[in-house]
Amino acid sequence: MAKDKKENLKGMDKVELTRKLEALQAHARTIRFKAAGAKSKNVKEGAHAKKDIARILTAINATK
């Protein structure tokens, strides 16, 4: 699964990656606040969001 995402990110330019990064960071923020208030059904969702953010940041830094 991670391999598919990696290939997806390689084809994107820096602007697209930045937009995707902003959306994922907003999603991760909502996950954090939801988790603080109530028990989440998908406990791994936050970890997956963090990993996706890291992958995008790596792709952005590689394009420099």
- Cβ distance 60 to 21 under 8 Å? yes
| Contacts (Cβ under 8 Å, ≥6 apart) of 28 | 46, 49, 50, 53
- Cβ distance 8 to 16 under 8 Å? no
Q: What pLDDT, on the 0 to 100 scale, is given for residue 1?
A: 40
Q: Rounded to 5 degrees, what are φ and ψ at 14?
A: -65, -35
Q: What pLDDT, on the 0 to 100 scale, is given for residue 3?
A: 54
Does 7 score more than 90 pLDDT? no
Does 54 score more than 80 pLDDT? yes
Q: What pLDDT, on the 0 to 100 scale, is given for residue 22?
A: 96
Q: What pLDDT, on the 0 to 100 scale, is given for residue 40?
A: 66
Which residue would you say has higher pLDDT here, 27 or 42?
27
